[in-house]
Amino acid sequence: MELEDAFPHEETGDQVTAIEEVKADLYRPRPMDRLICGDVGFGKTEIAVRAAFKAVMDGKQVAVLVPTTLLAEQHLITFDERYAPFPVKVAMLSRFVSKADQERVVQDLHRGAIDVVIGTHRLLSSDIGFKDLGLVVVDEEQRFGVAHKERLKKLRAQVDVLTMSATPIPRTLEMALAGIRDMSTVDTPPEDRQPVLTYVGQYDEGLALGAVRRELLREGQVFWVHNRVATIERQAAWLREQVPDARIVVAHGQMDEDMLERRMIRFWDREADILMSTVIIESGLDVPNANTLVVDAANLLGLSQMYQLRGRVGRSHERAFAYFFFPPQRELTDEAHERLTTIARHQALGSGFQIALRDLEIRGAGNVLGAEQHGHIAAVGFDTYARLLQESVAEMKGEPLPEEKEIRIDLPVRAFVPPGWLEQEALRLDLYRRISSSGDHEVLERVRTETVDRFGQLPVEVQTLFAVASLRITCTRLGVGEVSTYRQQVRLKPLELPEALELDLSERVPGARYLGTTATLNLDIGRVPGAELPGLVERGMVRAMGEDEVVATMPS
């Protein structure tokens, strides 16, 4: 075939096998549901290019679903280049596309004028329709939420689905291993590829700066991941002082789309030496000249995220380095320690599958119902169903049930997900579920960061929602069951304040009063804007308890 002959590289044996397996699936009468598990940069995209071409030649349309706008842009370039000699129309739907162009693409999809469309979760919107959809390609499935997968599940019954991932989510991997889904593995590295040398340890400023300077001396480029939008500019300013000759650009999901695109293009075109960004770069960004990665708070990232980030470097014949730091003053959770140990242990090329298996061990398969929710279960949500099931099993075994203390927070704030910001109800419900089920500040911060990178800057109402969730986590930790307002005061009870801390309470928290007989803390809030109130209450509460700061209070 002319398309295959035009491939600029020699296929690996695994690639050839996977391509043949996909072709065989496409000839079957039943819909394909295949997982391609291949390491970062091992040629999964080429398999998708050929599968899509086969579908288009059969008169079908193809949807390529990706988690980020940047990856959509890069896939568009790849598909356009590969299909250039052929009459195949490729289009993109993402935040980088103007409203007018989006409407035109939607109309062309309905008419069948577009053969291949590449896009983010926008492709799962209710207004998207196809004249004759034949194949859906899902890249990095682990980045999509339950609501997205529910829509994908409906598609699976009607069309061929090809899923690609370096580190599939535990449930997906468990289904493939159990034979519920077909799986192909691509674990042969391209020629001249070397493993990425990986360092995991406490943050060391000298080591981090030394790594940056060494990369710049060999005229390479650096990814520096700082996963907090609130402080990323300050971190970039510090790095400019330390490495004054370096050209540094900053990128994160709250940026204007045009500015984000311009900055990414500057880095691609080697007009910048260092890209400081959030985890928005984790999926699919291909910059062969970038061969050093620094992550300054890796303890906040998931195992799959760390592995995907490491895959951004080492995509050429140069030796690449990845540094995963964690704050020295923070005690790691057991899960964070397991994740960091795993990423340090698995440094060989093609270790994505082993990392996914380890993730399966750490997190469990979670496959009582799969990602989908049906019947009455959909009414209560998967997490609630799992809890009810756990309680029923414990009751049958005669085991005592742990008491869950309900926390009542009654503050005059507007904390919700506005329909105008997130139109799809399923996406809003999924976000509510993820926020409410966050059991600690690290998980909540991860949810917030992913939400920003996926949907853009958070409205005040959503920022407040995260702040209320952060307050609830701290209340749980300190045993507070009720937070309410009375005139210009907030009452927190019960809060057991040791006598030693009562003596200088007014110095630590001006305007605070403690009633020992009712274990109630009263905070004077004055006329604080509603959006700032949850954070103010949380800070006041922990300072009253003699703690210097709220380590992970959500930024407003």
Q: Structural domain tally of the chain?
A: 4
Residue 321 shares a structural domain with residue 384: no
* pLDDT value of residue 42: 74
What are the b/e assignments for 377-389, b being 16+ CB within 10 Å?
A: beeebbeebeeee
Burial of 508 (0-12, 13-18, 19+ CB in 10 A): middle
What are the strands of the beta sheet with 133-139, ordered from one edge?
A: 90-93, 116-119, 61-65, 133-139, 160-165, 33-38, 182-186
CA pair distance 105, 266, nearest whole angstrom? 27
Asked whether residue 359 is domain-assigned, the answer is no
The verdict on residue 364 lying in a domain is no
Is there a single domain that holds both residue 42 and residue 150?
yes
Report angle CA 349, 352, 356 to the nearest 5 degrees: 155
pLDDT of residue 425: 63
* Sites in the chain below the pLDDT cut of 70: 1, 39-40, 142-143, 145-147, 149-150, 152-157, 166-181, 190-193, 282-285, 346-397, 399-406, 425-426, 429, 528-530, 548-556
From CA 233, how far away is CA 65, in angstroms rounded? 31
Rounded distance between C-alpha atoms, residue 231 and residue 61, angstroms:
43
Report the chain's terminal Cα–Cα distance, integer Å.
56
Residue 241 φ then ψ, to 5°: -65, -40
Same domain, 165 and 31: yes
- Tell me the angle at which helices 303-310 and 352-363 cross, rounded to the nearest 10 degrees: 170
* In a shared domain, residues 24 and 142: yes
Tokens read off for 306: 């760390």
- Residue 553 maps to a domain: no
40, 59, 515 from 163: Cα distances, Å: 14, 21, 59
Longest alpha-carbon distance in the chain: 84
Please check whether residue 555 lies inside any domain of the structure: no
> Residue 387 is part of which domain span?
376-404
398 and 538 within one domain: no
Q: Check if the beta carbon of residue 453 is closer than 8 Å to that of residue 252.
A: yes
Decide if 358 is inside a domain: no
Helices assigned H by DSSP within 218-299: 229-242, 257-268
Tell whether 327 is covered by a domain. Answer: yes
Domain boundary (348, 367, 391) is at 348
CATH number, domain with residue 204: 3.40.50.300
pTM over 0.75: no
- 360 assigned to some structural domain: no
For residue 3, what are the contacts with CB-CB under 8 A and spacing of at least 6? 49, 50, 53, 82, 83, 86
CB 295 within 8 A of CB 309: yes
CA dist list (Å): 391 to 377, 378, 387, 436: 15, 18, 6, 19
**Residue 225 host element (H or E):** strand 221-225
Same domain assignment for residues 171 and 245 = no
Same structural domain, 536 and 436: yes
Are 412 and 381 in a shared domain?
no
Domain at 485, CATH number: 3.90.1150.50
Classify residue 367: in a domain, yes or no.
Answer: no
**Could you tell me where the beta strands, DSSP code E, fall in 4-60?**
33-38
| Unique residue bearing structure tokens 């890069």 | 74
In this structure, the answer to whether residues 388 and 518 fall within a common structural domain is no
d(CA 222, CA 272): 9
Residues 381 and 443 in one domain: no
Q: Output the pLDDT for position 492.
A: 83
The helix-helix angle for 69-83 and 257-268 (nearest 10°) equals: 60
Whether residue 179 sits in one domain with residue 201: no
Q: Alpha-carbon distance 135 to 160, whole Å?
A: 5
Q: How far apart are CA 1 and CA 87, in angstroms?
A: 15
Question: 33: which 2 tokens?
Answer: 């549901």
Q: What does the pLDDT read at residue 47?
A: 92
Q: What is the dihedral of CA 421, 422, 425, 428, to 10 degrees?
A: -100
Do 271 and 386 lie in one domain? The reply is: no
Q: For the segment 133-166, what is each residue's pLDDT rounded down to a tens digit?
A: 999 998 877 667 656 766 766 665 678 989 887 6
